[in-house]
Amino acid sequence: MAALAVTAAAAATTARADYAVLRSGMRLHITGCERVGDRVRLTVKGGVVEMAASDLVTVEPEDVFPALPPAPAAPAGPYAALIRAAAEKDGVSEKLITHVIAVESNFNPRAVSRKRAQGLMQLLPETAARYSVANVFDPAQNIDGGTRYLKDLLQLYRGDLKLALAAYNAGPDMVERYGGIPPFPETQNYVKRITSELAEAEKSPE
């Protein structure tokens, strides 16, 4: 199956920014992929990377969810009460939960990613099971499970928000493997975006 994925992925140039998954476990943010014989050329920021076709496992598209009505900068709408309740119950910042939901699903409770992450806080099936989320598309259950996961990650990394967010996005195993935020553009941008938005929110009056 992997060989077929490589052939299909490398047969044509990608039309937009995607991720090349390498056999080493690395993920490269690319804008083009072209196969030439038994080699592949990946277009990355700043140039071209060439490697053996066997070193490329697949090319994955970025998850892009269709925009819903403009997402609120602070808890509002039908999820405000659910976010506030979860924040108070688990001692997690209300603004943090809100910004995670905004980035993860754009407040779409039916969002499903290519990695099978689901719902407002994009819970993987195993994460949903761990936190007893029976219906991952139910906003109350999803927010409750996602918030408890955030709480556990914050405790695991002794309050280090950047590491907790990196683990939420890429998984604790990746954080442990790289001894910090993994060198994946997707994860680095995820951490930077949420921490920057939280910093801006702190500056703004309530």
Burial-class residue 121 by CB neighbours within 10 Å (0-12, 13-18, 19+).
buried
**Options 34, 88, 104, 200, the catalytic residue:** 104
CA distance linking residue 42 with residue 30, whole number of Å: 6
CA separation for the pair 29, 19 (Å, rounded): 5
- In 3D space, the residue among 145, 69, 136 whose CA is nearest the CA of residue 109 turns out to be 136
Other residues' Cβ atoms within 10 Å of the Cβ of residue 197 = 17
Neighbour order of strands in the sheet with 39-44: 47-52, 39-44, 27-36, 18-22, 56-61
> Is 60 an annotated catalytic residue?
no
Considering only CA atoms, which of 113, 200, 97 is closest in space to residue 150? 97
Measured from the Cβ of residue 104, the count of other Cβ atoms closer than 10 Å reads 24
Long-range Cβ pairs for the range 198-202 (8 Å, 24+): 198/93, 198/95, 198/96, 198/99, 198/161, 201/73, 201/74, 201/95, 201/99, 202/95
Beta bridge partners of 33: 42
Catalytic machinery residues = 104
